[in-house]
């Protein structure tokens, strides 16, 4: 079997054949947020099917496309769709977009997702800056023999999300007059949404929002020593004592309405990178 590094070199070669720039930032767009890629001055697009070693994506609200181009004068790649564990992907495959971003030369990762709010102060349509994470997927993309060229055997996770980028994001939210919570993202395997008891547990163990993605990507990004900014759209609230039903389509509809806030933050963070080369 091909080693991860070899696989990524092959994937990156195919991207480079279509796009000559070296990206500084990679963006992973979650459920209902793929439209953010429209902000990019597109220079190349690749379907995941064209990228060697990439699995297919089956999740709703995910196009399965890589968009390469310029955003506010910075070369970026954006993934419209990610690989979830609940689709049957091993955790290592969930981190392939991050490995490709790193292989292409970017040192900054922006991840977005849809999540259920468990902090009672959160409302549907709010956006949360992810300031820390809990992995309850019982899987980790780094399980297996470690490739020391890619990163250390035991990566530090004391500060997975970059404090400077979080500050920039917070100031953009203030300037644009919207609430940007800061909280802990709990990753569950899915694909079921949580029971009332599980939402209650999530809150008790210190989570502010619950989702089914992102953590494997952020683990791989920290392994690769990338700077990470993460944001969750609160598409539903999991309140144990006033239960309401959740569906995938409702989640995507709300995520779309919150997209302008994420777009504003992403523009601002990219512009701050542009002014600090």
How many alpha carbons lie under 13 Å from residue 247 in its C-beta half-sphere?
3
Rounded distance between C-alpha atoms, residue 165 and residue 107, angstroms: 13
Choose, from 39, 87, 194, 217, the residue flagged as catalytic. Answer: 87
Q: Which stretch binds ligand HPA (CB under 6 A): 62-70, 73-81, 188-196, 267-275?
A: 188-196
Q: Which stretch binds ligand HPA (CB under 6 A): 34-42, 46-54, 111-119, 127-135?
A: 111-119
Rounded distance between C-alpha atoms, residue 30 and residue 231, angstroms: 10
Residue 193 as a binder of ligand HPA (CB under 6 A): the answer is: yes
Give least dist CB 181 to ligand HPA, A. 15
Rounded distance between C-alpha atoms, residue 277 and residue 274, angstroms: 6
Q: Which residue has the tokens 């970017």?
A: 106
Q: Examine the residue annotation and report whether 84 is marked as an active-site residue of this protein.
A: yes
Size of site (CB under 6 A) for ligand HPA: 14
Residue 192 DSSP one-character state? S
Q: Examine the residue annotation and report whether 146 is marked as an active-site residue of this protein.
A: no
Residue 114 as a binder of ligand HPA (CB under 6 A): the answer is: yes
Q: Which stretch binds ligand HPA (CB under 6 A): 12-20, 153-161, 207-215, 266-274?
A: 207-215
Q: Which is nearer to ligand HPA, 162 or 194 (CB)?
A: 194
Q: Which stretch binds ligand HPA (CB under 6 A): 51-59, 96-104, 186-194, 266-274?
A: 186-194
Choose, from 3, 20, 49, 249, the residue flagged as catalytic. Answer: 249
Residue 163, SS3 per DSSP? helix
Instruction: For strands 65-71 and 74-80, give the pairing.
Output: antiparallel
Residue 251 as a binder of ligand HPA (CB under 6 A): the answer is: yes
Among 15, 66, 101, 115, binds ligand HPA (CB under 6 A): 115
Residue 176 DSSP one-character state? T
Residue 32 as a binder of ligand HPA (CB under 6 A): the answer is: no
Rounded distance between C-alpha atoms, residue 142 and residue 219, angstroms: 8
Q: What would the two tokens of residue 98 be?
A: 């991050």
Q: Examine the residue annotation and report whether 212 is marked as an active-site residue of this protein.
A: yes
Residue 135 as a binder of ligand HPA (CB under 6 A): the answer is: no
Instruction: For strands 25-29 and 74-80, give the pairing.
Output: parallel
Among 48, 203, 235, 259, binds ligand HPA (CB under 6 A): 235
Closest to 151 in 3D by CA, of 198, 211, 98, 73: 98
In the bound state, the residue with its beta carbon closest to ligand HPA is 116
C-alpha distance from residue 221 to each of 16, 43, 107, 161, 204 (Å): 21, 25, 9, 10, 28
Q: Examine the residue annotation and report whether 62 is marked as an active-site residue of this protein.
A: yes
Do residues 158 and 127 lie in contact, with contact meaning Cβ atoms separated by under 8 Å?
no
Active site residues: 31, 62, 84, 86-87, 114, 212-213, 236, 249
Where does this chain bind ligand HPA (CB under 6 A)?
114-116, 188, 193-194, 210-212, 235-236, 238, 246, 251
């Amino acid at each position: 079997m091909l080693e991860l590094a070899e696989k990524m070199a092959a994937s990156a070669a195919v991207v480079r054949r279509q796009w000559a720039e070296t990206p500084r930032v990679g963006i992973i767009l979650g459920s209902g947020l793929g439209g953010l890629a429209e902000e990019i001055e597109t220079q190349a697009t690749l379907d995941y099917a064209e990228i060697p070693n990439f699995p297919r994506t089956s999740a709703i609200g995910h196009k399965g496309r890589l968009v390469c181009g310029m955003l506010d004068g910075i070369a970026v790649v954006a993934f419209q769709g990610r690989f979830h564990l609940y689709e049957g992907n091993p955790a290592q495959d969930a981190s392939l977009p991050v490995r490709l971003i790193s292989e292409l030369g970017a040192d900054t990762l922006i991840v977005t997702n849809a999540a259920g709010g468990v902090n009672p102060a959160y409302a549907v349509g709010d956006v949360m800056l992810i300031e820390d994470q809990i992995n309850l997927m019982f899987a980790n993309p780094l399980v297996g023999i470690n490739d020391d060229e890619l990163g250390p055997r035991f990566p530090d996770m004391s500060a997975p999300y970059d404090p400077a980028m979080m500050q920039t994001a917070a100031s953009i939210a203030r300037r644009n007059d919207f609430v940007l919570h800061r909280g802990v993202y709990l990753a569950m395997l899915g694909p079921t949404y949580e029971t009332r008891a599980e939402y209650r547990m999530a809150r008790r163990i210190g989570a502010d929002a619950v989702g089914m993605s992102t953590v494997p990507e952020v683990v791989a990004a920290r392994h690769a020593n990338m700077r990470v900014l993460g944001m969750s759209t609160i598409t539903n609230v999991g309140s144990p004592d006033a239960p309401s039903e959740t569906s995938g389509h409702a989640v995507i509809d709300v995520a779309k309405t919150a997209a302008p806030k994420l777009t504003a933050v992403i523009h601002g963070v990219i512009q701050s990178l542009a002014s600090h080369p």
